[in-house]
Amino acid sequence: MMRRCVGFLSLIALPLILQASGVTKRGIAPSLYSDCIARNVGDQLTVLIIENSLASASARTNTKGEYDAEVTAGGTGALDFIPLLSGSGSTKSEHKGTGTTTRQGTLRASVVSRVIEVLPNGDLRIEGEKSIIINGEKQLTILSGTVRQKDITPQNTITSDLIGDAEISYKGKGVLANTERPGIIARIFDWIF
């Protein structure tokens, strides 16, 4: 019976002894009852990037102008012998123009970010970068922003729509990215015209 009590008490006291001796590391739960959610500088947080964007704009222009003129002159009375002089003219100007542009984009990814600063109100400033190379193409995702601690899930994740001042960029380098970029001559003509 005594052995059971000592064994039970040692299981309860073990987390307290480890914490007091400094064996636990920062960022790891200090006890059996706490979680591992990002709270301090250097802690990691998984950001689930789910971005859908759609933008469209349209413009329509209609202008119309008309001008009519008529000139008549001739002799009357004693000057009947002067032939009648007359003329008329009109001009019309009309312009119609329409334009529409639409742009749509979708980005889905996950990036493990690191807390770089804890703000005075408790919010966390985060930064993260993820690089993947697929068939010689380098895909780079860069993320930064501000996170409220209450928005972090128990799984230590947050979706990108809950990040304040979010800056998300997705870049590619390689053969495919190079073919999408216009050549130097096309860029010169675009610059001139």
The pLDDT assigned to 41 comes to: 93
Question: Residue 164 forms beta bridges with which residues?
Answer: 146
The pLDDT tens digits of the residues spanning 117-147 come to 999 999 999 999 999 888 788 888 999 999 9
Strands (E), the chain: 44-73, 85-118, 124-134, 137-147, 157-159, 164-173
| Matching residue, tokens 């914490």 | 19
Whole-model pTM: value is 0.53
The residues, any chain, with a CB within 8 Å of residue 111's CB and separated by 6 or more, are: 46, 47, 49, 128, 129, 130, 141, 143
What's the pLDDT band for 27 if we cut at 50, 70, 90? Answer: very low
| Matching residue, tokens 């009519």 | 68
Mean local confidence (pLDDT), 92-106? 76
The pLDDT tens digits of the residues spanning 154-188 come to 999 999 999 999 999 888 776 555 555 566 776 77
